[in-house]
Amino acid sequence: MKKTILTGLRPTGNLHLGHYFGAGQNYVRLQDDYDFYLEIADVQALTDNFDNPEKVRKNVFEITKDLLAIGLDPNKVHFFIQSQIPEIAELTVFYSNLVTVARLQRNPTVKTEISQKKELFGNNGESITYGFLGYPVSQAADITAFDGEVVPVGDDQLPLLEQCREIVRKFNSIYGNVLKEPQQVLSKTTRVKGLDGNEKMGKSLGNAIYLVDDDETIRTKVMGAVTDPSKIKKDDPANPDVCMVYYYHKLVNNEENINKICSECKQGSRGCVQCKKELIEAMKSFLEPIQERRKFYEDNPEEVKKVLEEGTKAAREKAMAKMCEIKKAMKIDY
């Protein structure tokens, strides 16, 4: 019997290359080996988009199209919408009694996200909502509602998974051995840098290339990418290891070209403009098959709706069965 794998994405925008290399490739690789549940976490998206519900609703379908386009097979993966599984909300309430506010405030991932959202929460975080602070509890409910044994994550998400394990241990110590402690699976590329050299690619940072970007958008973004600042003239030798153009060549180009680019860059026989133009073409070639698959779902929205409906039905059945077990252990199975 296959182990259950559970992962989720907040529908706040389209997928970018950071999502693809940091998680998407991992999902595609894992879908053959596990009973795979993929949550479109619309409720968690509302924690910092509560005043823009239309954005979240639209992106539920946008992100599903992106995930199908990168190669996830709806015959192997149960795509489901978080808000359509009421058992997750129930478990979130139950688990809220098992974790302190102080522990949530110490969570490194939560602290980082709060600092990135200063405009939303204020410089001192004085406007942090209960929902935002408590979303690690909701994530624990996401995982355990489906007996998730394996969770594919990036390294920045490890503190959230550890918080889930703490909740599981606390629950089991009180109510018996009902919940499973999930284990992480890290992708080979745990994080992708932004075009500006930032350690993380993100929408809020304005340094991302998206899977849906058209040719002109790609050209504009690549031409603005950070290169070695010590290279002043075209024929100056440079260090490719500090150049974001070379960094992206390594992601989307073939090994022969990568080696050639590296050698010419170090020798000073390659200009940055030439290198960027070659990256634009390599990027377009890399994204072309993804964008072709995505166009099918753009043209057939009923297929996307069907994928979500069938996946959500399967997820609800599994969550209901687990909730019966949990309520029995908690003595509230009236």
Mean pLDDT computed over 303-309: 98
Rounded to the nearest 5 degrees, what angle is found at the Cα of 325, between the Cα atoms of 322 and 326?
Answer: 85
Neighbours of 94 (CB within 10 A): 18
Q: Does residue 204 belong to any structural domain of this protein?
A: no
pTM score of the predicted model: 0.90
**Same-domain pairing of 163 and 235:** no
Identify whether 220 is part of a domain.
Answer: yes
Residue 187: pLDDT over 90: no
* Tens-digit pLDDT profile for residues 19-63: 998 888 889 999 999 999 999 999 999 988 889 999 999 999 999
Range from 43-47, 88-92, 201-205 carrying the lowest mean pLDDT: 201-205
Residue 129: inside a domain, yes or no? Answer: yes
Which CATH number covers residue 234? Answer: 1.10.240.10
Mean local confidence (pLDDT), 234-238: 88
Average predicted confidence (pLDDT) for the chain: 91
20 and 78 housed in the same domain: yes
Number of domain units in the chain: 2
Helix axes 53-69, 301-329, angle to 10 degrees: 100
Here the CATH number for the domain that contains residue 104 is 3.40.50.620
Check whether residue 88 and residue 235 sit in a common domain. Answer: no
Strands, sheet with 183-186, edge to edge from the N-terminal-most edge strand? 77-81, 35-40, 4-9, 150-153, 183-186
* Domain region containing 162: 4-192+301-329
Report if residue 254 sits inside a domain: yes
Tokens 């909300």: give the residue.
89
More confidently predicted of 187 and 333: 333
Regarding whether 146 and 227 lie in a shared domain, the answer is: no
Q: Judge whether 92 lies within some domain.
A: yes
Tell me: do 61 and 108 sit in the same domain: yes
